[in-house]
Amino acid sequence: MEVTPGPVALAVDVGGTKVEAALVDADGQILDQSRHREATGRDASSDQLAAAVVDAADRALAALPPGASLLGAGIGSAGPIDQAEGTVSPVNIPAWRGFALRDLVRSVVSDQIADPKVILATDGLAITLAEHWVGAGKGIANMMGMVISTGVGGGLILGGRPMHGASGNAGHIGHIEVSAMDGESTVGHPGTLEAVASGPNSVAWARGHDWKGTTGEDLSRDYARGDEVARAAITRAGTAVGRAISSATALLDLELVVIGGGFSQATPDLFRIIRETVASHQLEFVRNVRVVPSSLSGAGPLIGAAALVHLAH
């Protein structure tokens, strides 16, 4: 007996260095051969960025199984975003300010279905939804997800419900101030968590202290080798993240924080440093928050983007 394929959603993840797209089923599984990536970067033009989104989405849609129903598309983007207008102005993508990303993705999906549902959220909320849906946060009513990569983003589930906020940017923890720590300037504010703890800004800090590497991967390698500056850079980043999590937990009484993103994998010691920083807080309920790595092996942003559509049905 032939099995009819279930409904799927197109997921699009837009970050500072790449755009990815894939098809995701109602169980949160990425369909085989549907995941595609295109490089972006700070120097890309708006047209180049748009072409990367269209190409990745088209290639993902080409893997749609015969007979499968396409529900629509979910987009997780680096922020800030304007959810009502469907536009994005990512800090780490200078060419896009007020860019109509939702309309761009809708134009691609419209070739498959009429009047498609297309939902935009921050990449931080996307990874949080993914962990709450099928990952480490299943069954947790009050949690935060974080992305530590080219930038630092976050999202919130409170009382079991995703928090979007007035503009769609709730949970943007990368732009809270980290007291007594200055990093590389992000939108003119060197004291933000992103300015201190993101991968590129941690690299910049290390280079300012005579370290000779150039990438987050180099920093990770030299940390493992015992290089003093590399170890100081990652310790500094983990301490900043721990302080930010402590502040968020003091405000929101979180049970769990799940962290993903490329730089979060620089060393397992990063989580030790974060947890030790949280454990030093003066309030017991803050110290009780659990901090864990993403359980979704880098697929969280895509799965969460698809969750925007699947959970809306």
Q: Tell me which residue of 309, 313, 312, 296 sits closest to 128, measured CA to CA.
A: 296
Residue 269: in which H helix or E strand, if any? helix 269-279
Tell which CATH classification among 3.10.450.50, 3.30.420.40, 2.60.120.10, 3.40.50.2300 matches the domain 138-293.
3.30.420.40
Same fold, 8-125+299-310 and 138-293: yes
- The yes-or-no verdict on residue 190 having pLDDT over 70 is no
What is the tens place of the pLDDT at every residue in 8-47?
999 999 988 899 999 999 999 999 999 999 988 888 999 9
| Cβ(54)–Cβ(105) below 8 Å | no
Six token digits for residue 42: 């700070």
If one counts every other C-beta atom within 10 angstroms of the C-beta of residue 66, the result is 6
The correct answer on CATH 1.10.10.410 for the domain covering 8-125+299-310 is: no
Predicted TM-score (pTM) of the model is 0.90
Domain range summary for the chain, segments of one domain joined by +: 8-125+299-310, 138-293
Bridge partners for 8 per DSSP: 25, 70
pLDDT per position as a tens digit, 295-305 = 998 899 999 99
Predicted confidence band of residue 1 (pLDDT cuts 50, 70, 90): very low
Q: What is the rounded distance in angstroms from the CA atom of residue 146 to the CA atom of residue 269?
A: 17
The pLDDT of residue 2 is above 60? no
Contacts of 34-42 spanning 24+ positions with Cβ under 8 A: 34/60, 34/63, 34/64, 35/60, 35/302, 36/60, 40/14, 40/15, 40/16, 40/93, 41/16, 41/17, 42/16, 42/92, 42/93, 42/94
Kindly tell me the sign of the dihedral angle through the C-alpha atoms of 295, 153, 163, 7.
negative
> pLDDT tens for residues 254-281?
999 999 988 999 999 999 999 999 999 9
